[in-house]
Amino acid sequence: MAVSVDEAVGTRPARDRTPRARRFGGRGRAVLEVALLTVLAAVMLFPALWMIETSIKENRDVYAIPAKFFDFKVTMDHFKDVFVASGGGRSTLSDSFLNSVVVAGASTALATVLGVPAAWAYSRFAVKAKKDQLFFILSTRFMPPVVVVIPIFLMYRQVGLIDTKLGLILIYAAFNIPFTIWMMKGFVDEVPAEYEDAAMLDGYTRLQAFWRFTLPLLLPGIAATAVFALIFSWNEFVFAIFLTSSDSVRTAPPAIAGLIGGTTVDWGLVAAASVVFALPVLVFAYLVRRHLVAGVTLGAVRR
Amino acid sequence: MAGIEVTALHKRYPDGTVAVDHVDLSVRDGELFVMLGPSGCGKTTTLRAIAGLERQTTGDIRIGDTLVNDLPPAERDIAMVFQFYALYPHLRTRDNLAFPLRAEGLPRAEVRERVDEAARLMRLGPLLDRRPRRLSGGEQQRVALARALVRRPRAFLMDEPLTNLDAELRADMRTEIKHLQGELGTTMVYVTHDQVEAMSLGHRIAILNKGRVEQIGTPLEVYDRPASLFCAAFIGSPPMNLIEVEVADGKLRSKDGLVFTPPPGLPRDRRLVAGVRPEALEVTEPGAERSVPARLISAEWLGDEIIYVVDHGGRRDVRVRMPPTVRFAADAPVGLRHLGGTPAVYDVSTEELVA
């Protein structure tokens, strides 16, 4: 039957018919659980809430003792400072945000363009030592990235990629390609190869069959995979701080970190920059949330 | 239309697995030819090689008079129906049918005419404007068949097309496919692991095992005289009883006293096994004429028949097919009798039919 990835997510688990109270052993226990979860949520979310609050407080309220939770004047000045330099014109922070967009976007695109066809090939063809190859590809993600920072730094210095956006794009793509191949292979496996067979019998070449029939069915999977890759590139800090130095190349994470230090710290600006930085990935993740679940639970759902 | 010749086909994958060891087939023009075998026997790989979806390692494939070894699937003028139907999910039934014709670049009027014809033949009228997702399994398979028909190919290749349907629908579609093939007279190669499907559909059946052809013959030939112990065990439900026998006094005798008429030309110096169909045996009252003493182990009441499992002191229990009117109590002492006729006889060491 025709299958799309959406179907793997769409089914809801059968409703548990046991009455609530009996499952949890009494109403009192249910109340306790909700209360504990609320406390836990408050603790977990507090830093994010505090960041948002700080970003809209005036400076004297930021430093007020005791801290002001509710009765402070709301201001958007910090957000203005994120984008506009004090003397007018664009701020260096806004430059670094732009750099982040370019680097994360380009590295994700590169990883997708290279990784999706590779995943397709691994899924469809009998490749010699396929399992070993796939394991080798995956093994590049076993080590923490930080252990290769020094070798990469030395290599980049030799080839002149230090302090370039291209350098960051390449290294992020290198980290994202194994991930893309593995995740996309799962999605390709789910699309019956018969579509391509049928298309080939109908007069298309193998590549045309892939392009015209399999690829459209893979789009949700590609979106989910790309968002994961995008989040990785967007958040990456270690390589960004080691491999870049100038304001014109630096991405947002090291730029925001750079605001802390010196004699005074403008916490309002730091918080506002952090909020601006966090928003895009949150929005993306929200847009493709259904497919993210599909990607995470891949293989767990049997048709 | 055309026959299909497969000569010395061998397919080995890069990872070293041999899917097809050595296969010779000759499918006649207008024949419904069934390839039957367990999973992994190479039947699907052979079919895909004929279709051009796999490139054989060595061997030749001819469709009609054309050597098609190096032709891409589209130029072989064949149509294929898949187990998962492979209807394009984004196209309505009508466009799914028209798709291969448009790919060929036929004029619009002819496309419409041929689609209507195929839709009429497969009774798809009400389904023409639906997408595959809105069709049931049986309907999808009918559309897939129609999509193969519109091409008017020289041969149909069917890769387990009924496996995903439920039992009742499968029987209906089987009849439909057989009828259709008879009406169109198009060569059809049909792959299945279901012996009932093979027996009821095929003009001839090829039984494959481990990448080799074990036997090719009409359904009756294959049923009556399986060419090897593998075929004997694969065809028929319950399968043939295999009883060790020796030649003595011009008769075949089993250790426990069953006596069979030997086929002519039996070698004397080999260990032999007689293949006896469950319906060639009979459960009798104990001590009946020509019967050997035996004990009932179990009985399967199937409604139209009863399968008795009988222990007659041999190495293996035998299965006997009896009409539903003949009933014996479980665990009762009974007699076991051969109804006559010459059984197929196999060599134990080569596992092949000797006479």
SS3 B299: strand
B221 and B271 inside one domain: no
Task: Annotate B33-51 with DSSP letters as a single string.
Answer: EEEE--TTSSHHHHHHHHH
What whole-number distance in Å separates Cα of residue B283 and Cα of residue B304? 17
Of B227, B250, B277, the residue that ends a domain is: B227
d(CA B192, CA B160): 5
- One domain, residues B102 and B123: yes
A135: Cα separation from own chain's centroid: 23
Residue A167 has pLDDT above 50, yes or no: yes
Do B192 and B289 fall into the same domain?
Answer: no
- Give the pLDDT confidence score for residue A161 in this predicted structure: 92
Which amino acid, residue B155?
A
Residues B209, B332 share a domain:
no
Find the residue in B nearest to A195 (Cα).
B86
Substitution target from B11, B12, B17, B88 for chain A, most A beta carbons within 10 A: B88
Which of A36-50, A65-79, B83-97 has the weakest average pLDDT?
Answer: A65-79
Q: H or E element: which one contains A229?
A: helix A215-235
Q: In which domain, by residue range, is B72 found? A: 4-227
pLDDT score of A295 more than 80: no
CATH code for the domain in which residue B78 is found: 3.40.50.300
Same domain, yes or no, for B123 and B175?
yes
A192–B86 CB contact, under 8 Å: yes
CA distance A8 to chain B (A): 14
- Whole-number pLDDT of residue B271: 86
The answer to whether residue A93 scores a pLDDT higher than 80 is yes
A65: number of CA atoms within 13 Å, CB side?
Answer: 0
Quickly tell me which residue has 């049997």 as its tokens: A302
Is the pLDDT confidence value at A14 over 60?
no
Domain boundary among B172, B197, B227: B227
Contact B205, B219 (CB under 8 A): yes
For residue B272, the SS3 value is: strand
Q: Are residues B53 and B168 in the same domain?
A: yes
The answer to whether residue B353 sits within a structural domain is: no
- Co-location of B185 and B52 in the same domain: yes
Tokens of B121: 């033949």
Residue B317 lies in a domain: yes
A299 φ/ψ sector (left φ>0, alpha ψ -120 to 50, else beta): left
CATH number assigned to the domain comprising residue B323: 2.40.50.140
Instruction: Tell which CATH architecture fits domain A92-296.
Output: Orthogonal Bundle (1.10)
Q: Determine phi and psi for B253, rounding to 5 degrees.
A: -125, 135
In terms of domains, do B324 and B286 share one?
yes
Give per-residue pLDDT as tens, A128-158.
888 899 999 888 888 887 888 999 999 999 9
Domains of chain A by residue range: 19-83, 92-296
Strand partners, B20: B11
- Integer Cα distance of B40 and B2 in angstroms: 28
CA distance readout (Å), A68 to A54, A58, A75, B53, B179: 10, 11, 14, 71, 84
pTM of the model: 0.75
CA dist., res. A263 & res. A150, Å (int): 30
Q: Sort out which chain B residues have CB atoms less than 8 A from A216's CB and list them.
A: 90
Give B267→chain A minimum CA distance, Å: 46
CA of A203 vs chain B CAs: smallest distance (Å): 4
Q: Any idea what DSSP says for residue A212?
A: I
pLDDT at A171 over 80: yes
Q: Which of B178, B195, B227 is the last residue of a domain?
A: B227
Cβ proximity of B160 and B41 under 8 Å: no
Quick check: is B219 in a domain? yes
- State ipTM: 0.76
pLDDT, position B187: 93
Per-residue pLDDT of chain B (355 residues; tens, 9 = 90+): 689 999 999 999 887 889 999 999 999 999 999 999 999 899 999 999 999 998 999 999 999 889 999 998 888 889 999 888 888 888 889 988 998 888 888 898 999 988 998 888 888 888 888 888 888 888 888 899 888 888 888 999 999 988 888 888 888 889 989 998 998 899 999 999 999 999 999 999 999 999 999 999 999 999 999 999 999 989 988 889 998 888 888 888 888 788 888 888 787 778 889 999 999 999 988 888 888 888 888 888 888 999 999 988 777 889 999 998 888 887 888 889 888 888 899 998 888 888 7
Check A192 against B84: CB less than 8 A apart: yes
Which chain B residue shows the shortest CA-CA distance from A1? B84
Contact B155, B4 (CB under 8 A): yes
How many domains does the structure of chain B reveal?
2
Residues B281 and B183 in one domain: no
Query: CA of A287: how far to CAs of A10, A101, A113, A297, in Å?
Result: 16, 18, 21, 18
Statement to judge: residues B116 and B253 lie in one domain: no
- Residues of chain A neighbouring B80 (CB-CB closer than 8 A): 197-198, 201
- Residue B278 maps to a domain: yes
For residue A217, the model assigns a pLDDT of: 84
